[in-house]
Amino acid sequence: MVASDRDGLDQLAGITGLGWTASIIGYLGTAIGIGNTLVARVADPPSLFYLGVVLFATTFGLDRLHDKRSSDER
């Protein structure tokens, strides 16, 4: 049961990590001027930036939670 919780945290952290990476790359692409039309159809650039920040904080929190659970089990 504990191993499945750790695996779930790892998977969720991976998904949020991928999300913040993609949103920050989208934001930087629009800030530089590459892909403005594609990103403008999906979301405005500041929204991508804020989404990236939230997903980064979530990933960081999940990693800390995983580390705390791992250290408590030892």
Supply the pTM of this predicted model. 0.73
The whole-number pLDDT of residue 50 equals: 86
pLDDT of residue 40: 62
pLDDT in tens, the chain (74 residues): 455 667 788 888 888 988 888 888 888 877 777 665 666 666 777 888 888 899 899 988 888 888 887 777 66
CA distances from 8 to 15, 24, 32, 63 (A): 11, 24, 36, 12
Place of tokens 């998977």: 11
**Whole-number pLDDT of residue 1:** 44
The confidence score (pLDDT) of residue 74 equals: 60
> What is the distance between the terminal CA atoms of the chain, rounded to a whole angstrom?
16
For residue 26, which of 35, 37, 13 has the smallest C-alpha distance? Answer: 35
